[in-house]
Amino acid sequence: MEESCKISVSQLFLLLFLSRTFSLVAYSPSIQGGGERITLITTLLSGVLQGLALVAGVALCRRRTGSSPLIVPTGGLYQVLGGLYWLFCTVVCVYTAVNFISFVTAAVYDYRYGGLVAFTLVAAGALAASQGLEGLARGAGILTVLLGIGCAVIALGLWRQYDWQNFTLRLLSPGDTLRGTWQGFAMNGELFALLLLLPYLRGGPKGVSCAGWVTGLTLASVAVQLMTMLTLGVYGGRKAFPIFTAVTSAGFRTFQRLDSIFLVIWVVLGLMKLAVFLSLAANLAAGVFFRPWSVRWVWGNGAVVLAAALALWRGPERWMEGFHAALSTGAVTLLGVLLLPLWGKMMNGGRTKE
């Protein structure tokens, strides 16, 4: 990979931060598989667990063949590892598309326009991914600044609606605290993306950098929970889109059309997340079949994502419940961040000795 096409560590973390933020504003953490066990305390503890897992995953990727969790592309083992990571990336893309469609058809457009929304989103994501990760990374800094400004405007606009009596620091039993911490860790299944993006860096990230990214995500998750808690109280925990519910129910005495700001943020974050993981899926698919990368891989994977999203979005509640139940076990997170890199390291070590 040419040096001019690589990205910096800061650009990498901005890309991942924007991608993960889409999930944070999409659903409240209490709904995403955690139930009553997801609290401010368990969110902080799960952030520590995520940071430790990422540091371990990065350490497993540091071997002679480079920094990728994949072994040398010479045979079937590489195809199995690459195929599993491709499946993970595709699942994230489909999950993102279904979230996007279900929100837009519920809050903006009629249910009948779901197909058009899906086609527009995937086409725009594929177009962005076809420009390469470097092009996405260049715009990540500007988008992060705009995201910060938009969130500040929303927070100020909701200030009059905050009810500080809703703030309660719930203390769980030790067992529930451990289970809530694990569920918070498990629900961030996109952690493996950092390992897949390591080969695109000009220089390898350090443990402190990983901890900084996870800290930012943890604080963002805490902010979402606080905003939902202070604005909607117990009512917010029963809403699929609590932040949007809070925005649309505000009085708008100071800031007019606050909901339009949320929609802009939602669209930008959804498009960024889809483009990042669609780009990863296209690169992995090309590697699995030992073919050079081309734009056709992006559009081919986009077609797969579109077909799957259209098939699943018509029953999003049932599908989402099953998806959350599977993800809350932690299988995807453990496989992507620790077990697959460990397997690759062991296989590569055996080949090196030979």
| Position with higher pLDDT, 232 vs 14 | 14
| Position with higher pLDDT, 332 vs 276 | 276
Residues 296-333 have pLDDT tens digits of 999 999 999 999 888 887 765 666 667 767 777 888 88
Q: Find the mean pLDDT for residues 191-204.
A: 82
| Position with higher pLDDT, 191 vs 255 | 191
Range with top average pLDDT, 34-43, 83-92, 250-259, 264-273: 83-92
Report all structural domains of the chain as residue ranges with CATH numbers, in order of start. 3-341 (1.20.1740.10)
- Tokens at 162, concatenated: 């905050």
Q: Which pLDDT does position 317 carry in this prediction? A: 60
Those residues whose C-beta lies under 8 Å from the C-beta of residue 28, and which sit 6 or more positions away, are 224, 225, 228, 236, 237, 239, 242, 243
For the chain, counts of helices (H) and of strands (E): 14, 0
pLDDT band per the 50, 70, 90 thresholds, residue 257: low
The mean pLDDT of the chain is 78
Q: What angle do CA 164, 168, 171 make, to 5 degrees?
A: 165
- CA 12 – CA 172 distance, rounded (Å): 36
Residue 6 · residue 202 · CB < 8 Å: yes
Q: Which pLDDT does position 182 carry in this prediction? A: 86
Q: Find the mean pLDDT for residues 7-16.
A: 83
pTM (two decimals): 0.84
